[in-house]
Amino acid sequence: MTVTMEAVVNTASQVQISIQPVVPDNISKVRNLNSVLFPVRYAKTFYENLLHPGYFGRLAYFNKQCVGTITCCKQPLGYADAKAAEMREPSERCEMYMMTLGVLAPFRRMGIAQSLVQCALETAAQDPSIERVALHVQVGNDDALGFYHKLGFVTTHTIDQYYRHIEPAQAYVLQYQL
């Protein structure tokens, strides 16, 4: 998927944003971006799993420079409603759980994150077993909350003590019905 859009970068000009799947040759780019974007260090298995069925990973390139990533996984319906340590029983009804979404600071507010989310929504909609896309947003992260609401996500409830090593520990559960 290639998205072309107008953006202001010194002068109004055409910029190219391309969204590419995560494959063995570029998985290190996801790891590098995550190390810069998130205060969490993800295990090696997190990255290995992205290459397996049921997982979804994309990289965003701005004029050929890797600047953003999204990672998701297919889970039983209701997975996002539970605390992180709780497991759900296997089910034919599923949701796509958005694990990470991030864009390097100089490239934010250019539609890149929106393009990544749109790609995930389109992919989820192609799987008849997936009923919704869900994610967690830390309470207090009003920018993220506004971003997802603008895209049509709805806050359904709050989970206390969702995060173990960061404050505030509460997380909103957001859902997008397909």
The catalytic residue among 61, 79, 97, 162 is: 97
Q: CA 150, CA 98: separation in Å to the nearest integer?
A: 16
Task: Give the C-alpha distances (Å, rounded to integers) separating 89 from 46, 61, 82, 136.
Answer: 21, 37, 12, 20
Could you give the strand order of the β-sheet that contains 11-21, starting from the edge strand earlier in sequence?
2-9, 11-21, 55-62, 65-76, 94-103, 130-138, 171-177, 154-159
For residue 117, give the 3-state DSSP assignment: helix
Contact at 8 Å (CB) between 138 and 145? no
Catalytic residue, chosen from 61, 79, 136, 176, is: 136
Is 136 annotated in the active site?
yes
Residues taking part in catalysis: 97, 136
